[in-house]
Amino acid sequence: MIASGTLAAFALVALGMVLTPGPNMVYLISRSIAQGRMAGAISLMGVAMGFVFYMFAAAFGLTALLLAVPFAYDTIRWVGAAYLLYLAWNAVKPGARSLLQARTDLPIDGPGRLFAMGFLTNLLNPKIAVLYLSLLPQFIDPTQGYVLAQSITLGLTQIAVSITVNFLIVLAAGSVAAWFARRPTWLKVQRWLMASVLAGFAVRLAMERRPA
């Protein structure tokens, strides 16, 4: 099985991943501010289910099969880059609102739709398949046997880290939004910083080569 040191190292990598702003964080913050913590928590359950799907897909080789086809991989990569650029533009376009600026004009969604939107946001996140394909194999030792069990253990670790951090984000979204609301200059800085991060990841994703 997986050594404790290897598992701890993977957990640190997973922590760095979840702290990087992306579509999941964007959706959870927006929904938590617009509709409250309970809505954010339900959305997070949908996000978690998306991780479970990708975990089993990677463990059983479906993701590897997808990325083995250059056309499919490139389609996901370019669509993902375009989506990240779209999010970046929406953060800084004239009249744009910060993710941490509370909105009251959003429709109130029911639990089923909240869960489904969280699931789809994660499922359609173009980086998840790439991350699971490129990250997990680096921490799997075939000589230890039980490769499937190792894959699932690593996947569950990533999910646990991601859900914990995202749950804290859901709980703190309102407080953080209130802090920024009292400091409009920092709110503007946050929007440009978020846009820069998203644009940077879009460029990186577009230039990323298909794994050999």
Asked if the structure places residue 212 within a domain, the reply is: no
What is the mean pLDDT for each group of 10 consecutive residues in the chain (212 residues)? 82 78 78 85 94 86 60 68 75 66 64 91 75 71 75 90 91 74 72 77 69 50
Longest dimension (CA), the chain: 56
**Count of structural domains within the chain:** 1
pLDDT at 106: 57
Q: pTM value?
A: 0.67
Asked if the structure places residue 37 within a domain, the reply is: yes
pLDDT at 97: 61
Asked if the structure places residue 170 within a domain, the reply is: yes
pLDDT at 141: 73
Asked if the structure places residue 100 within a domain, the reply is: yes
Do 137 and 66 touch, CB atoms closer than 8 A? no
pLDDT at 172: 85
Counting Cα atoms < 13 Å in the Cβ hemisphere of 27 gives 24
| Among the listed residues 85, 54, 105, 66, the one whose alpha carbon sits nearest the alpha carbon of residue 195 | 85
| Among the listed residues 134, 106, 121, 97, the one whose alpha carbon sits nearest the alpha carbon of residue 10 | 134
Report how far residue 119's alpha carbon sits from residue 73's, in angstroms, rounded to the nearest whole number: 21
pLDDT at 41: 93
pLDDT at 57: 82
The parent domain of residue 8 ranges over: 4-207
Report how far residue 12's alpha carbon sits from residue 29's, in angstroms, rounded to the nearest whole number: 23
Asked if the structure places residue 99 within a domain, the reply is: yes
